[in-house]
Amino acid sequence: MDPRELRYAESHEWVFEKDGIATVGITDFAAARLGDIVFLELVSVGSKVKQFEKLGELESVKAVAVIFSPLSGEVVAVNEALKEEPDLVRKDPFGESWLVKLTADDVSELNNLMSFQEYQEFISRQEG
């Protein structure tokens, strides 16, 4: 996935929407900051979530991070490979290590999210 084509939440999730199906993951910035990821818990397939509601939890050695859904919709797939090896999230956050796919109820919600450029500025402010 090309990071420049994604939309971003302030809580460091990305989303890629195509034909009404939204793929969700966390950003490389967030993954690097979490460190070794040891546990991942995601809502199950069929769950309905609202935008910015809890989608699951990631735990690293040092911290627990809540994952929020960047869009509203129904979960149609979760990345099973990550259940076995949650640390894969860090390896390829924009590709193999997506977290869930959901049906996008309302694509206009994408306007509540940041563009790549905006997200870059957002994290550089955070770092500074």
Partner 1 sequence: MQKDLITMKRTPLYQEHIKLAANMIEFCGWEMPLNYASGIFQEHLATRKFGGLFDLSHMGRLLISGEDALPFLQYVLTNNVEALEPGQAQYTIISNESGGAVDDAYLYRINHQQYMLVVNAANTEKDWQWLQERKERFRAVVLEDRTAAIAMLALQGPRSKAVLETVLGGDGLRLPGPTRNTITTVEIFGTKVPIARTGYTGEPIGFELFPPAEIAVPLWNTLLEIGAREGVVAVGLGARDTLRLEANLPLYGHELGNDGEGKEIPLFSGRLAGNCISFARNKGYYIGREALANQFEEVKLRLQGLLDKPKADQLVPRMIMPVAVLGDGVARAGCEVYLNGALVGRVTSGTVVPFWRVEGKGVASKPGAQSGKRAICLAYLDADLKEGQELLISVRDRQLPAMVVSRHLGSEAAPYARPILVEDQDKAVASGARKTLEGLAHSLVRKTLDNARWRQRATINLIPSEQTPSPLVRLLSISDPAGRYAEHRIVKALGEVETYYYQGTRFIAEVEEELAEQMRDFLGCSQVETRPISGQMANTAVFSGLLEYLNRVDRTAEPRRFRSVMNHFIGMGGHLSSQPMGALRDYVAISPLTGRPAVVNFPWSLDNPWQIDLDRTAQLIAEHKPELIILGKSAVLHREPVSEIALMIAGMRPRPTLMYDTAHVFGLLGPYFQQPLEEGADIITASTHKTFFGTQRGIIASNMSKGTDAFELWEAIVRRIFPGSVSNHHLGTLLGLLMATYEMNAFKDEYQRQVIANAKAFALALKECGFRVEGDPGIDFTETHQVILRFDYAKGIEVAHRLEANNIVVNYQAIPGDETFTASSGVRMGVQEMTRFGMTEPDFQELAGYMADIVLAGRDCPETISRFRSRFTEMKYCLSEEQATPLIEALLAHF
The residue (of 15 and 82) whose beta carbon lies closer to partner 1 is 82
CB of 91 to partner 1, least distance (A): 11
Site for partner 1 (CB under 8 A): which residue of 18, 62, 95, 125?
62
Q: For residue 128, give the 3-state DSSP assignment.
A: coil
By the rule CB under 8 A, 76 interacts with partner 1: no
Per-residue interface string for the shown chain with partner 1, residues 7-36, x marking contact by CB under 8 A:
--------------------------x-xx
CB of 122 to partner 1, least distance (A): 14
CA 103 to chain centre: 15
Nearest alpha-carbon partner for 73 in 29, 107, 121, 118: 107
| Residue type at 87 in one-letter notation | D
By the rule CB under 8 A, 124 interacts with partner 1: no
Phi/psi for 84 (5° steps) reads -70, -40
| CB 116, CB 6: distance < 8 Å | yes
Give the separation between CA 49 and CA 127, rounded to whole angstroms. 30
Selected range binding partner 1 among 2-10, 44-52, 55-63, 67-75, rule: CB under 8 A: 55-63
By the rule CB under 8 A, 59 interacts with partner 1: yes
